[in-house]
Amino acid sequence: MTTWKEQLEFDRRHIWHPYASLANPPPVRMAESANGVELRLMDGRTLIDAVSSWWCAAHGHNHPEIVGAIRRQTEKLSHVMFGGFTHEPAVELAQALIKLTPPGLDRVFFADSGSISVEVAAKMAVQYQHSLGFPAKGKLLALKGGYHGDTCCAMALSDPDGMHTLFRQIMPRHYFADPFDFESVRSVYAEHGDEIAAIICEPIFQAANAMRFYPPEFLRQLRRFCDEHGLLLIFDEIAAGFYRTGPLWAGDHAGAVPDIMTVGKALTGGHITLAATVASAKVAETISAGHPGAFMHGPTYMANPIACAAGVASLRLFQTSDYAAKVAAIESRLNAGLVECRHLPNVTDVRVMGAVGIVEVATMPARTDIERVIDRHGVWLRPFCNFIYTMPPLVSDSSTVDRITAAIRELASCAPGPQTADGDFHE
């Protein structure tokens, strides 16, 4: 039996953390438990999770209804292969998703993570065009400043100058346009249209790469453009969906409905990994009518019953809690708490939309300042690149949001840190 401090030391030497070096690992804290908006550490301290554990824990951590659903499902049927079987949680989750997603999206593929759901969406688009007799349409048009995940295809659809440049050689090459300039979509298409199957974007809110918002009109233009040119439109709602930016879906800002939508993260409220790719009947029927007819993807843990049961409980909470009002209240507290950061010398911009608050700095403060602010305020922040941000649980009350913005204000007022090697502060 080892003590938690020995375990922490073992972790430091042997276990990779996201975007971290094993030779010079960044500090990690040892979590013991979580409840609501708070994480409890092994040393007894608590931290407000201002990041919702990478934007998942929308209903707060360890929500009793989701935990109960997981417990009951675990005792009945933990897993069964989805090839040749189905089960109640998968059917109920698909029914709930179809009810919540925009009209026309009613064919569901369950995936193990957000990145995989993006891979699935891209494969659907390519197989759709293949079935229509366009086998050369094997590329996608994506947006500069975007992020769609860390697997090969998802990396390749993310900003080409973003954090994955090292892997250029193993990434398929896609085409990119600028979300602030619709002409760039037209000109990329004019040159490469014969190869393009679909357009993929994070609607309105580009999260893990650029941490910025772009105008809804761009989405409406994309929708019209795709219709005119026989392209599919894919909305990656993994970060922005489930009320994060205000409405249920970020695409709702524009009243635009995609042909394929990916959801993940808050799908299970941050309790267990699960994502889904939801497509229209047109996509599904075209793929089915082509050759080989079968959609060619099928992960081992597809539609895991425990994850689906968590998803059902989470979606019930989205349907029964007034998150639109909760997010509006969070937005106004974020605005009130972050506005004065604009005047700080190291701050270049402050952006708030829904339950997203971003303070962009010219240079990130030093790691020691980040750690000090986290510990002093009891607020967990995970700044990256030039962004100090919060995406708190959607159940955060005003005093929680005020504590978060106080911590962000203090961090934003710290002196710029040493310029770090590229990659040090990635998400």
Ligand X SMILES: Cc1ncc(COP(=O)(O)O)c(C=O)c1O
Residues belonging to the active site: 19, 147, 236, 265
Distance of closest approach, residue 203 Cβ to ligand X, in angstroms: 10
Shortest approach of ligand X to residue 187 CB, angstroms? Answer: 25
Name the minimum Å distance from CB 275 to ligand X.
Answer: 6
**Nearest-angstrom CA–CA distance, 56 and 239:** 8
Judged by DSSP in three states, 274 sits in: coil
Q: What is the CA angle 203-208-210, rounded to 5? A: 75
Residues that bind ligand X (CB under 6 A): 113-115, 118, 147-149, 202, 207-208, 236, 238-239, 264
- Using alpha carbons, select from 317, 329, 338, 328 the residue that is nearest to residue 397: 329
Mapped onto helix, strand or coil, the DSSP state of residue 111 is strand
CB atoms within 10 A of CB 76: 12
Distance between CA atoms of residues 116 and 302, nearest Å: 11
- Between residues 155 and 373, which has the closer beta carbon with respect to ligand X? 155
Residue 195 or 236 with smaller CB distance to ligand X: 236
Min dist. Cβ of residue 344 to ligand X (A): 27
Q: How far is CA 160 from the centre of its chain?
A: 18
Q: Would you say 150 or 195 has its CB closer to ligand X?
A: 150
The minimum distance between CB 43 and ligand X, in angstroms, equals 28
Compare residues 120 and 373 and give the one whose CB is closer to ligand X.
120
Q: Which positions ≥6 away from 198 have C-beta within 8 Å?
A: 122, 125, 126, 128, 129, 140, 141, 226, 231, 232, 233, 234, 259, 260
Burial class (CB in 10 A: 0-12, 13-18, 19+), 346: buried
Supply the DSSP symbol for 193. Answer: G
Q: Write out the two tokens for 347.
A: 């701050």
Q: Which residue's CB is nearer to ligand X, number 148 or number 326?
A: 148
